[in-house]
A and B are shown apart, each in its own frame.
Chain A
Amino acid sequence: MGMTMAEKIIAAAANVETVKPGDIHTVELDRLMSNDGTTHLTIDMYHQLQNPHIADVNKLVWIMDHNVPCDSVKTAASHKKMRDFAREHNIKFYEGAGVCHQVMMENHVTSGELIFGADSHTCAYGAVGAFGTGVGCTDYLYAMVTGKSWLLVPETLRFELTGKLKDGVYARDLILSIIGMIGANGANYMAMEFGGEGLQTLCMSDRIAICNLCVEAGAKTALMDVDEITLTYLKEHGREPKHIFKSDEDAQFAKVYEIDLSTINPIVAKPHFVDSVVDAKECIGIHIDEAFLGSCNNGRIEDLRVGADLIRGKKVHPLVRFLVVPASAEVYKQALVEGIIDTFMEAGAIVMNPNCSVCWGSCQGVIGENEVLISTGTRNFKGRAGHKDSFVYLANAATVTASAIKGEITTADQIA
């Protein structure tokens, strides 16, 4: 019986010949990412251990991104704890470099790895064929101390992509459409695997956006076939694959979906659920107070270019705050070179340093009672971006920018 990519990666990490869905295996982890969302909790627990130690410090990457720069005395204390511990134990540490998943993609992740991240969107790493999965701080601590953890082998949903996205339609519309189709728990405990000729029309930024959001369908991980685009990306970033895994012809998938990319349209996910998706046109005219272009999902240079091309020579609506937050310092520098930052500032946008920003509802741009945000962020849960009685609409970079100009939700084709 053949195996899927997810099964092959787990089998290799467990040092066994074969695995099947439902099996539980002890696995050796390649990399362990943690950010300032919960690292202070991990450290508190670490100090309570009878025999505190780190199995292999070279596997650890710690990234400050949720509250950067620090916004309160309370946060300063947890940041200091993380920074001091990283320094004392010689842990690879980033601060100011960007949102953790983007920093990981730019600097660390490679094909065939098995990675735990103390953040739910760790599934983004599947864009290069790595098995990334989100865990809490206790699981993280256990992995940090032992180098290992246990994993239940997931079933796999296979998405066979054909065709090409139309102009004005983006990877984000594709993954939101898929989440709308299978539901917020449609892939619970499962791996979502993507391949087919349509995948070759999607650049690495698109691929990261797709894999990153798979947790919003409940997925344990997302995985994409490794191809020339993957290998070029890794090479450009100075890395080689650890191993290239591919699902066998006779691998067993829980279900196979065939998706023609040309059938996808601009999508909006309405409050308060990511699977509450509608055609973006249905939301035209909804009042907004703030617009956000950024996040690990949609804050890369490709996304900023989309926004800049739309807003060049125009102005942000006077009653709207438009936050532009590059996903990493690398993205920010590239945007400076291309004049994109100038364009946004000329238009009246507020350009921020790379961080998680309002996507996680802290630090910057939090919205007030009854306010409405349109966002390229990851979630639209009730209260996610601030006040419990506020509203978040998720959309692609073009819709968000067009809405910032118009002062209400609109699509790019409505902006003259």
Chain B
Amino acid sequence: MEKFSGKVWVLGDDIDTDIIIPTEYLALKTVEDMTPYAFSPLRPELAAQIQKGDILVAGKNFGCGSSREQAPEIIKALGIQCVIAKSYARIFFRNAINNGLLLIENDQLRDAVCEGDMVTVTINAYIEHNDNQYPITSLPQNLVEIIEAGGLVKAMQKKNGVC
């Protein structure tokens, strides 16, 4: 997963966990059952439009609010390759990594892209968009290992069987 490209969907600041998945759908049996309702308070049509491999670009404080882990799980289940936001709320950040969802922090791309544009991500290096390069800071190696294994539990199983 060192380098990949995808079509972007663009969201604003403070996308909270109730936007990502409203409470009323949390009682559904599986995350797959919940995916049609992702982002529904804000953009009810969005979940059906997202295709596997797409990239979500957002503003600051993405994932603020509740600790509901269904939020990053749903984004992953929709086939989103990674989220690129100006910043993340911390509980969401941990939950995303623990579920193997790649998060990238960049404070410039959001204001430069339009929905439907293609961007290319080179992990731990930069994002490319329309001949521009946006540097990204590298994730610590232990977090990369968790993402690559598909989440915290799988990473621990791989490492030492502690779980």
**Distance of A379 Cα from B26 Cα, bound (Å):** 17
Complex contact A383–B18 (CB within 8 A): yes
Q: A139-B152, A142-B156, A185-B89 are in contact. Are A361 and B23 (CB under 8 A)?
A: yes
**Distance of A119 Cα from B95 Cα, bound (Å):** 12
Of B27, B64, B98, B163, the residue contacting A49 (CB under 8 A) is B163
Complex contact B18–A384 (CB within 8 A): yes
Q: Count how many chain A residues have C-beta atoms less than 8 Å from C-beta atoms of the other chain.
A: 45
Q: Scoring B residues 77 to 120 as 1 if CB is less than 8 Å from chain A, else 0, what string do you get?
A: 00000000001011100110011000000000000000000000
Complex contact B67–A185 (CB within 8 A): no
Of A50, A142, A361, A388, the residue contacting B152 (CB under 8 A) is A142
Query: Shortest CB–CB separation between residue A324 and chain B, in angstroms?
Result: 21
Query: Shortest CB–CB separation between residue A134 and chain B, in angstroms?
Result: 5
Of A50, A185, A189, A220, the residue contacting B157 (CB under 8 A) is A50
Most buried by B among A118, A141, A218: A218
Chain B residues closer than 8 Å to A120, beta-carbon distance: 65-67, 91
Q: How many B residues touch the partner, as a band?
A: 35 or more
Complex contact A145–B27 (CB within 8 A): no
Q: Scoring A residues 13 to 27 as 1 if CB is less than 8 Å from chain B, else 0, what string do you get?
A: 000000000001000
Complex contact B42–A382 (CB within 8 A): yes
Chain B residues closer than 8 Å to A189, beta-carbon distance: 90
Q: A120-B65, A120-B66, A136-B95 are in contact. Are A145 and B23 (CB under 8 A)?
A: no
Complex contact A139–B163 (CB within 8 A): no
**Distance of A37 Cα from B151 Cα, bound (Å):** 21
**Distance of A381 Cα from B66 Cα, bound (Å):** 11
Using a CB-CB cutoff of 8 Å, which residues 101-154 of chain A contact chain B? Answer: 118-120, 134-139, 141-142, 145-146
Q: Scoring A residues 238 to 264 as 1 if CB is less than 8 Å from chain B, else 0, what string do you get?
A: 000000000000000000000000000
Complex contact B89–A188 (CB within 8 A): yes
Of A72, A366, A384, the residue contacting B27 (CB under 8 A) is A72
**Distance of A283 Cα from B95 Cα, bound (Å):** 37
Q: Scoring B residues 135 to 163 as 1 if CB is less than 8 Å from chain A, else 0, what string do you get?
A: 00000100000000001110011000111
Q: Scoring B residues 28 to 52 as 1 if CB is less than 8 Å from chain A, else 0, what string do you get?
A: 1100000000001110100000000
**Distance of A382 Cα from B68 Cα, bound (Å):** 16
Query: Does A273 reach chain B (CB closer than 8 Å)?
Result: yes
Complex contact A142–B153 (CB within 8 A): yes
Complex contact A75–B66 (CB within 8 A): no
Using a CB-CB cutoff of 8 Å, which residues 184-210 of chain A contact chain B? Answer: 184-185, 188-189
Complex contact A139–B94 (CB within 8 A): yes
Complex contact A119–B67 (CB within 8 A): yes
Chain B residues closer than 8 Å to A41, beta-carbon distance: 69-70
Query: Shortest CB–CB separation between residue A17 and chain B, in angstroms?
Result: 23
Using a CB-CB cutoff of 8 Å, which residues 43-58 of chain A contact chain B? Answer: 45, 48-51
Chain B residues closer than 8 Å to A273, beta-carbon distance: 14
Q: Scoring B residues 55 to 72 as 1 if CB is less than 8 Å from chain A, else 0, what string do you get?
A: 000001100111111101
Of A119, A138, A360, the residue contacting B98 (CB under 8 A) is A138
Complex contact B151–A134 (CB within 8 A): no
Chain A residues closer than 8 Å to B27, beta-carbon distance: 72, 74-75, 78, 362
**Distance of A360 Cα from B26 Cα, bound (Å):** 11
Query: Does B16 reach chain A (CB closer than 8 Å)?
Result: yes
Query: Does B24 reach chain A (CB closer than 8 Å)?
Result: yes
Chain B residues closer than 8 Å to A162, beta-carbon distance: none
Query: Shortest CB–CB separation between residue B20 and chain A, in angstroms?
Result: 10
Please give me the 3 A-B residue pairs with the lowest Cβ-Cβ distance, nearest first: A136-B95, A388-B41, A383-B41
Q: A120-B66, A362-B23 known; 7 other A-B pairs, CB under 8 Å?
A: A50-B157, A135-B91, A138-B152, A139-B94, A142-B152, A184-B61, A383-B41
26 interchain pairs, CB-CB under 8 A: A24-B140, A38-B67, A41-B69, A45-B153, A49-B153, A49-B163, A50-B161, A50-B163, A51-B163, A72-B27, A75-B27, A119-B67, A136-B67, A138-B98, A141-B163, A142-B153, A142-B156, A185-B89, A189-B90, A218-B61, A362-B26, A381-B16, A381-B18, A383-B18, A383-B41, A388-B41
